[in-house]
Amino acid sequence: MELPRNHFKRAIAEGRQQIGLWSTLPGAVATEALAGCGFDWILLDTEHSPGDPLTVLAQLHAASAWPASIAVRPASNDPVLVKRFLDLGVQTLIIPYVQNAAEARAAAHALRYPPLGIRGVAGMTRATGYGRITDYTVRAEEELCLIVQIETAAALAEIEAIAAIDGIDGLFIGPSDLAATMGFPGNPAHPEVVAAIDGAIRRIRTAGKPAGILSLDEGFCRRCIEIGTIFTAVGVDAHLLVKNAEGLARRFKAPQDQASV
């Protein structure tokens, strides 16, 4: 059995734009439906959702029939969580709240087997094809992709140091947390935040790494792509569900009823 190829990792390394969707709904049915919508990648979030390794396992099964690449965001930069997702066969991880080079290095070590890292070895996992990928321990890192999130004002100052860590495949900007730490909670569109994001994207690209971002503002997403993001998440499944459902309800309800919607 061959080690599965990580098409997302290759695409961002080659500079091919990857349009993604953020998924906070942990059900396999939703994942299966979304995986066939035409996005290049889907992020399964377990930081700000009820998701966990067991729900992610079902989602991986559900998405396997479709070409969309699957990434997972663990709840934290925790080597135990990272190990569990890797053993499930997750090949792309987006690690939240990485503040400096030391934390980026810790994330990289969590993905690697000794002597380069600290990942524990287990032979009969989904990642190894239940023992059928005989050279998995030697070759796993070839197909693993590590993205770290830059989402605070403090982390902005460390972009170059973080990007220089061996094993980091890309840097992802989190606009909402960045806005909050800059003193503008709930307002990622504030001019100072937008300017900081603009500069961060350019610095990440100058450092030789792919840059990524998530935004619900289509115009801002297109602007980020123009500046240089290579993996760009353009929506969140729960937001799409709620806003479209609300709009449908408004179009059919009588004017006097709309105040309750």
Residue 96, in any domain of the structure: yes
* Per-residue confidence (pLDDT) for residue 74, from 0 to 100: 98
Residue 115, in any domain of the structure: yes
Q: Which residue has the tokens 């035409």?
A: 38
Query: 109 is in which domain, residue-wise?
Result: 7-260
* Per-residue confidence (pLDDT) for residue 255, from 0 to 100: 72
* Per-residue confidence (pLDDT) for residue 254, from 0 to 100: 73
Q: What is the CATH number of the domain that holds 18?
A: 3.20.20.60
Domain count, the chain: 1
> What residues act catalytically?
48
Residue 1, in any domain of the structure: no
* Per-residue confidence (pLDDT) for residue 259, from 0 to 100: 61
* Per-residue confidence (pLDDT) for residue 101, from 0 to 100: 98
* Per-residue confidence (pLDDT) for residue 213, from 0 to 100: 98
Residue 2, in any domain of the structure: no
Residue 94, in any domain of the structure: yes
Residue 232, in any domain of the structure: yes
pLDDT in tens, 206-237: 999 999 999 999 999 999 999 999 999 999 99
Contacts 24+ apart (CB under 8 A), 193-201: 194/220, 196/153, 196/156, 197/173, 197/224, 198/227, 199/156, 200/150, 200/156, 200/159, 200/173, 201/173, 201/227, 201/228, 201/229
* Per-residue confidence (pLDDT) for residue 256, from 0 to 100: 65
> What residues of the chain score a pLDDT lower than 70?
256-261
